[in-house]
Structure 1
Amino acid sequence: MAYEHLDYAVEEGIATITLDRPEVYNAFNRPMVLEINEAVRTAEADDGVYAMVLTGAGDGFCAGADTTDMRDWDDATEEEYGAYLWMVQRVVANLRGASTPSVAAVNGPGVGAGCDFALACDLRVMAPESLLREGFVNIGLIPGDGGAWLLPRLVGESKAREYLLTGRDITPEDAVDIGLAVEEAEDALGAARELAAEIRDKPAVAVRRTNDLVDPQRTFEDYCALACEYQWECVTDEEHDEAVAAFNEGREPDYGRSYE
């Protein structure tokens, strides 16, 4: 698929999705939202992609919805607005639902839904000049894209309420301190790709199934039942055999992959 508002590239088994409207700090319009959803689904369906990285072009990660592109909702029905919001929520749902691990390279402001896109990724790396801000309350809105669901699960209820109810910025230092970001790095994209490559080089089935098992809402009983199914899939996988053989022989595993 040819994209107009983002860049999609697969290199050495890592899909990088770069939001590309730098003149507005990568604030999204409707076509961009559709393209993000398509890009995430494409990466998830590609057997040659072992991890994905989400980032922004220029000096921004994603400034949320482009207010200059938004219609006047005064003459809309609740159903019309709900259809628009559902489309944005699908970005969070597709990232959260992907077995392929995702890393957000937060290279600039991630605001509103842009913050939620970063939170929906499995891991985050932040540049020194970046920030995350829910910010909806500042303009009389609620985090309709998933922030009030995601943030408590990532940092705990009390800390989440602080950021959600005040609209305060989450700085890179704060994000690392509360476990929201893996690290602060001058080259956020480079560090995110290194992290993605570290994940890529593990046995692929084990990575995907481990990622699937992380679900705070799942009961322990359901977890155990699913783990039996996933573990059998792993122990009958050729990459598991090679990983064990390499460990016993004191060498690096060779999974025979050919990265594009």
Structure 2
Amino acid sequence: MLYDHVSYAVTGGIATITIERPDVYNAFTRQTVLELNDAARTAEADDDVYAVILTGAGKGFCSGADTTAMPDWDDQTPEEYGAFLWLIQQFVWRLRQMATPSIAAVNGPAIGAGCDFALACDLRVVGENAILREGFVNVGLVPGDGGAWLLPRLVGESKAREYLLTGRDIEPAAAVDIGLAVERADDPLAAAGELAAEIRDTPATAVQLTNRLVDPERSFDEYCREAAAFQWECVVDDEHAEAVAAFNEGREPSYDRPSE
């Protein structure tokens, strides 16, 4: 895929979406968000993509909106501002609703909406220079992109309020300690790739349906009904049959996966 602000590449069944504005720590413009939405749609629609990695070029993950490229909001209507914000919210929504698992490789500052992009992914790996900061209150704004909805569901209400109301940084060690990140790594992109490969090498239908079942808003009754339907999809899936056969025969299962 050819973009101006984003790169998109698929290797071995893993799609990597990289924000390519390293000179501004991958701060985004409207064009960047349009490209991120398109890249996410492309990955979601590709049956040969089994996991998605989101990262940033250079030393940053995403430092939020590029304020030098924003319009003068004094000349805009609330509807025009809402349309711009909705574009950002759409990318967060798309990451949240994708059945294909997504992993944020947070290699540097993830600030404001950039933090929300990381929170919207299913899993996060943080580097030694990673910083996750909602930070909206520091500039007199609310988390308009999803942060105040996402963070409490990931770390609990009290801890989320601490970071949301103070604008404090979530350092790498703290991110792991509070369960926000699964791993702290010297090379977060490489570690995210290993995690993505581990996911890729399991039965795809089961992975995607399991990912869809993880929903804190669903009641247990709703969960049980949907789980029964999903389980049936898995029972009649060829990869389930192969996994069972491999277990019974004492061998590694063989799934049809793209080559590296």
Contact 2:13-2:257 at 8 Å conserved across structures = no
Could you say what secondary structure the match of 2:59 adopts?
coil
What's 1:242 paired with? Answer: 242
Residue 237 of structure 1: how far off its partner (Å): 0.2
User: How many Å separate the matches in 2 of 1:53 and 1:153?
Assistant: 21
Equivalent-residue separation in structure 2 for 1:196 and 1:88 (angstroms)? 25
Measured in 1, the distance between the counterparts of 2:223 and 2:56 equals 35
The structural deviation recorded for 1:247 is 1.1
- The one-letter amino acid of 1:130's match is A
- Tell me how far 1:88 sits from its aligned partner: 0.4
Residue 90 of structure 1: aligned partner: 90
Are the equivalent residues in 1 in contact too, given 2:125–2:181 (CA < 8 A)?
Answer: yes
Q: CA offset at residue 165 of structure 1?
A: 0.2
TM-score by length of 1: 0.99
Aligned residues between the structures: 260
Q: Is residue 2:2 matched to residue 1:5?
A: no
Give, in angstroms, the shift of residue 258 of structure 1.
3.0
Partner amino acid, structure 2, of 1:38: D
CA–CA distance in 2 between the matches of 1:117 and 1:127?
16
Amino acid at match of 1:21: R
After TM superposition, the structure 1 = structure 2 runs for residues 38-117 of structure 1, keeping only pairs within 5 Å, are 38-117=38-117
Write the deviation string for residues 38-67 of structure 1: whole angstroms up to 9, x where unpaired.
101110100000000000000000000000
Letter matched to residue 17 of structure 2: I
Q: Deviations over 1:151-184 (max 9, x none)?
A: 0000000000000000000001000000000011
TM-score norm. by structure 2 comes to 0.99
Which residue type is aligned with residue 50 of structure 1? Answer: Y
Over aligned residues, Cα RMSD in angstroms?
0.7
Measured after TM superposition, the shift of residue 76 of structure 1 is 1.1
Partner residue, 1:189: 189
SS in 2 for 1:3: coil
Listed as ranges, the matches of 1:143-158 within 5 Å are: 143-158=143-158
Q: Is the 8 A contact 1:48 1:259 kept in 2?
A: no
Contact preservation (8 Å) 2:95, 2:120: yes
In the aligned structure 2, how far is the partner of 1:179 from the partner of 1:257? Answer: 31
Name the structure 2 match of 1:132: 132
After superposition, the C-alpha distances for 1:108-163 in whole angstroms (9 at most, x for unaligned) are 00000000000000000000011100000000000000000000000000000000
Choose 2-11 or 154-163, whichever is displaced more.
Answer: 2-11
Give 2:154's aligned amino acid.
L
Aligned-residue offset at 1:97: 0.6
Q: Partners of 2:115 and 2:66 in 1: how far apart?
A: 14
Counterpart Cα distance in 2 of 1:240 and 1:230: 13
CA–CA separation in structure 2 for the residues paired with 1:258 and 1:154: 32
Q: Which runs of 5+ in 1 are unaligned?
A: none
- Tell me the amino acid that sits aligned with residue 259 of structure 2: Y
AA aligned to 1:134 is E
What secondary structure is seen at the aligned counterpart in 2 of 1:104? strand
Structure 2: state its 5+ residue gaps. Answer: none
Aligned to 2:34: 34
What's the CA shift for 1:250?
1.4
1: distance between equivalents of 2:199 and 2:172?
22
Q: Give a deviation string over 1:177-208, Cα, whole Å, max 9, x none.
A: 00000011000000000000000100000000
Residue number in structure 2 paired with 1:202: 202
Decide whether the 8 Å contact of 2:99 with 2:212 is kept in 1. Answer: yes
Structure 1 residue 159 and structure 2 residue 159: aligned? yes
- How far apart are the structure 1 equivalents of 2:187 and 2:240? 33
Mapped to 2, the partners of 1:250 and 1:187 lie a distance apart of 35
Runs (4 or more) in structure 1 with deviation over 4 Å come to: none
